């Protein structure tokens, strides 16, 4: 087999594997290097997919325990079989990662198993324990090596008592008390999983609000909702020490300003304080690839690094650490290499927090619009006035659409409610077409549906919502 390729991608996460498929579809001879035993990166193996499998299963468990009776379904003696729930998650991961293998074969993409490093322009070395070193010659190289969990200084993550998201997806028993450090997306999603399965969750967050970056009205609403769900959330607080004892962990906290010490006892502590780009072992220093102050690979608008023909995409470069953002960049790089004009619209990248209620956002928040001095109007509609939501015991939450006060052009959409992550896309599509609130308000929506609340919020931007 000749090791000469048009494109070699290092890392098979949603950035790398999607880039490989698109490039192959566009006629390139493509190689992909992956050091893990299965393809799909963080997203498929230890991120998006396993977390959503656990969120779904734990949600059904909670529904069965608390909501079935009010729907007239008698279900005595609902019990958790955690091993089976974990098996469900593992099967979902396997099916998805095998799906990537199939797609690589279908698109005639050659995979190399091992750690890739860049030896020089157009040369990638692959090192694995089982096979001898191989050199790949490639016209272009894309680095898609993703990110890893960040940690607190001096803390050892043993993935048993002090865990990252990876450990939190594989616990073999439900902890009685779980401390979550960080009220960001991982803390709230995985905190929700274990709360639903019976753990008492305490969350320590450095800032004075949860889910930084999210529209504040939603983040405040969700904070109240989480407290009702039984979460103990301590804002403006940081962890100063974690001591292991025979009876579990003793955690010392203090205020963000360093005052007022308190202790918390827990069986498990989940560290969810963000993720950092991963470039270890790539040999970037050797070839002089530049990083920014946060350790991310610097690229130009075409994703090219400071070295010609070497590109980077996904979590390892700037921008939100989201699977679909990585994939968008993968497609765009493949298209640029094929001589097409392509770009990612960073203003319209939806983000979803898969809790209950779910939270979904696209475009600008109110805080951003204020900061940018844009004159805007707000259209809102609560799910408590939506028939389908009431029928599904899902009346929590609301839709909020932000539009330019003069032109009516939609600038942002924010939904908190059951299934928000599905509903957000009609606002995203509208924004891609530079649509106005009136365009959405004039679009007939099937009844009864939760999406009618999206249209009602658009109507509220104009002459008024109908059902409130």
Q: Does 111 engage in binding with ligand FAD (CB under 6 A)?
A: no
Asked if residues 182 and 274 have their Cβ atoms less than 8 Å apart, the reply is: yes
Judged by CB under 6 A, the chain residues 89 through 148 that form the site for ligand NAI are none
Residue 283 burial (CB < 10 Å; 0-12/13-18/19+)? middle
For 59-166, strand residue ranges (E) read 110-113, 115-120, 123-127, 134-143, 147-149, 162-163
Encoded tokens for 110:
């050659």
Q: Does 272 engage in binding with ligand NAI (CB under 6 A)?
A: yes
Residue in 187, 248, 363, 379 binding ligand NAI, rule: CB under 6 A: 187
- End-to-end CA separation in angstroms for the chain: 68
Helical (H) or strand (E) element with 251: strand 248-255
Residue in 211, 239, 326, 420 binding ligand FAD, rule: CB under 6 A: 326
Q: Which stretch binds ligand NAI (CB under 6 A): 68-76, 272-280, 356-364, 406-414?
A: 272-280
CA–CA separation, 360 and 350 (whole Å): 7
Residue in 11, 363, 382, 397 binding ligand FAD, rule: CB under 6 A: 11
DSSP code of residue 67: T
Q: Provide the minimum distance between the beta carbon of 326 and ligand NAI in the complex, in angstroms, as a whole number.
A: 10
Give which of 424, 461, 417 is closest to 439, Cα–Cα.
461
Residue in 118, 211, 233, 323 binding ligand FAD, rule: CB under 6 A: 323
Q: Does 189 engage in binding with ligand NAI (CB under 6 A)?
A: yes
Q: Provide the minimum distance between the beta carbon of 89 and ligand FAD in the complex, in angstroms, as a whole number.
A: 12
DSSP code of residue 204: E
Active site residue 447: yes
Q: Which is nearer to ligand FAD, 47 or 413 (CB)?
A: 47
Helices 185-196 and 48-66, axial angle in degrees (round to 10): 40
Give which of 105, 84, 100 is closest to 49, Cα–Cα.
100
Q: Does 181 engage in binding with ligand NAI (CB under 6 A)?
A: yes
Q: How many residues does the chain have?
A: 468
Contact string (CB under 6 A) for ligand NAI, positions 385-404, x = contact: --------------------
Q: Provide the minimum distance between the beta carbon of 46 and ligand NAI in the complex, in angstroms, as a whole number.
A: 11
Q: Provide the minimum distance between the beta carbon of 213 and ligand NAI in the complex, in angstroms, as a whole number.
A: 8
Q: Cite the DSSP H helix spans in 197-300.
A: 216-228, 284-287
Asked if residues 78 and 61 have their Cβ atoms less than 8 Å apart, the reply is: yes
Q: Does 178 engage in binding with ligand FAD (CB under 6 A)?
A: no
Report helix, strand or coil for 119.
strand
Encoded tokens for 119:
């030896």
Encoded tokens for 83:
């091993």
CA–CA separation, 127 and 116 (whole Å): 7
Residue 300 burial (CB < 10 Å; 0-12/13-18/19+)? exposed
DSSP code of residue 385: G
Residue in 48, 92, 162, 226 binding ligand FAD, rule: CB under 6 A: 48
Judged by CB under 6 A, the chain residues 331 through 370 that form the site for ligand FAD are 354
Q: Does 145 engage in binding with ligand FAD (CB under 6 A)?
A: yes
Judged by CB under 6 A, the chain residues 297 through 316 that form the site for ligand FAD are 314-316
Q: Does 16 engage in binding with ligand FAD (CB under 6 A)?
A: yes
Q: Provide the minimum distance between the beta carbon of 136 and ligand FAD in the complex, in angstroms, as a whole number.
A: 12
8 binds, among ligand NAI, ligand FAD, none (CB under 5 to 8 A by kind): none
Instruction: Answer whether the bond into residue 357 is a cis peptide, omega within 30°.
Output: yes
Residue in 6, 26, 29, 36 binding ligand FAD, rule: CB under 6 A: 36
Binding site for ligand NAI (CB under 6 A): 152, 181-187, 189, 204-207, 212, 238-239, 272-275, 320-322, 351-354
Which residues are known to be catalytic? Answer: 447
Binding site for ligand FAD (CB under 6 A): 10-16, 33-36, 41-43, 47-48, 51, 115-116, 144-147, 165, 186, 278, 281-282, 314-316, 321-324, 326, 354
């Amino acid at each position: 087999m000749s090791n000469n390729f048009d494109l070699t991608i290092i890392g098979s996460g949603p950035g790398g594997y999607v880039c490989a498929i698109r490039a192959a579809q566009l006629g390139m001879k493509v190689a992909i290097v992956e050091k893990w035993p299965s393809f799909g990166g963080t997203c498929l193996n230890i991120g998006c997919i396993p977390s959503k499998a656990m969120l779904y299963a734990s949600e059904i468990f909670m529904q069965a325990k608390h909501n079935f009776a009010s729907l007239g379904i008698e279900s005595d003696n609902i019990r958790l079989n955690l091993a089976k729930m974990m098996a469900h998650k593992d099967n979902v991961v396997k099916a998805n990662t095998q799906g990537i293998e199939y797609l690589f074969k279908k698109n005639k993409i050659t995979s190399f198993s091992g750690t890739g490093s860049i030896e020089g322009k157009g040369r990638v070395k692959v090192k694995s324990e089982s096979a001898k070193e191989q050199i790949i010659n490639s016209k272009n190289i894309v680095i898609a090596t993703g990110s890893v969990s960040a940690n607190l200084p001096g803390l050892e993550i043993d993935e048993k008592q002090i865990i990252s998201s990876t450990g939190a997806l594989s616990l073999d028993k439900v902890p009685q008390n779980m401390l979550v450090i960080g009220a960001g997306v991982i803390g709230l999603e995985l905190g929700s999983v274990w709360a639903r399965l019976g753990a008492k969750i305490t969350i320590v967050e450095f800032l004075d609000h949860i889910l930084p970056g999210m529209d504040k009205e939603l983040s405040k609403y969700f904070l109240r909702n989480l407290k009702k769900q039984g979460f103990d959330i301590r804002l403006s607080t940081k962890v100063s020490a974690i001591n292991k004892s025979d009876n579990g962990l003793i955690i010392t906290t203090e205020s963000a300003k360093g005052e007022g010490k308190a202790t918390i006892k827990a069986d498990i502590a989940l560290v969810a304080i963000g993720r950092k780009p991963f470039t270890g072992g790539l040999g970037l220093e050797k070839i002089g690839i530049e990083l920014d102050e946060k350790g991310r690979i610097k690229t130009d608008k075409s994703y090219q690094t400071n070295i010609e023909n070497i590109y980077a995409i996904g979590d390892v470069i700037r921008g939100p650490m989201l699977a679909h953002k990585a994939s968008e960049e993968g497609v765009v790089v493949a298209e640029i290499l094929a001589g097409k004009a392509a770009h990612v619209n960073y203003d319209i990248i939806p983000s979803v927090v898969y809790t209950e209620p779910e939270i979904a956002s696209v475009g600008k928040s109110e805080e951003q619009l204020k900061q940018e001095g844009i004159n805007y109007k707000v259209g809102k509609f609560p799910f408590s006035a939506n028939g389908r939501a009431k029928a599904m015991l899902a009346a929590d939450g609301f839709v909020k659409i932000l539009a330019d006060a003069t032109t009516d052009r939609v600038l942002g959409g924010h939904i908190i409610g059951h299934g928000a992550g599905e509903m957000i896309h009609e606002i995203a599509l509208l924004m891609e077409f530079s649509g106005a609130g009136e365009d959405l308000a004039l679009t007939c929506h099937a009844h009864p549906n939760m999406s009618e609340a999206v249209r009602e919020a658009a109507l509220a931007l104009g002459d008024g919502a109908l059902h409130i």
